[in-house]
Amino acid sequence: MKLPYRKKALVPAEKLTGYLLSETHPVGNAKARFFSELGFNELNIDELTKALLKIAWANDVKEERKFKYGINYAIDGIIETPSRKSVMITTVWFAKTVKSRPRFVTAYPV
């Protein structure tokens, strides 16, 4: 199955700059090092956003987890990076309902 409403998926810039690419974030700092080694940083968040959305649009959901606040969807895919490496990552998306606009939550290496 594909991510419901995937063409409306949202990757908030502050999620990237304040978490995924933040080396000072208590949870995101390890992910920031990973993405930094691949050439991603605060200057090219548009490139990272496009790569994350490409995974959401093109790949199947590998895991769906419903909980009281909504639904998380995990999607694996290959991300093209500024360092010219192709790396498999897992992306996680959240929607309040099946018909809600999915929002990017996190990403990490497979």
Q: Show the tokens assigned to 2.
A: 């594909």
Q: Is the dihedral of CA 1, 32, 50, 100 positive or negative?
A: positive
The whole-number pLDDT of residue 46 equals 96
28, pLDDT greater than 90? no
Q: What gap in Å lies between CA 88 and CA 4, rounded to an integer?
A: 22
Instruction: Using the predicted structure, report yes or no on whether residue 27 has a pLDDT greater than 90.
Output: no
Give the pLDDT confidence of 46-82 residue by residue, as tens digits: 999 999 999 999 999 999 999 999 999 999 999 989 9
Name residues whose C-beta falls within 8 Å of residue 109's C-beta, 6 or more positions apart in sequence. 34, 87, 88, 89, 90
Task: Kindly state the percentage of the chain with pLDDT values over 90.
Answer: 96
Does position 1 have pLDDT exceeding 90, yes or no? yes
Closest CA to 87 of 61, 42, 57, 48: 48
pTM of the model: 0.95
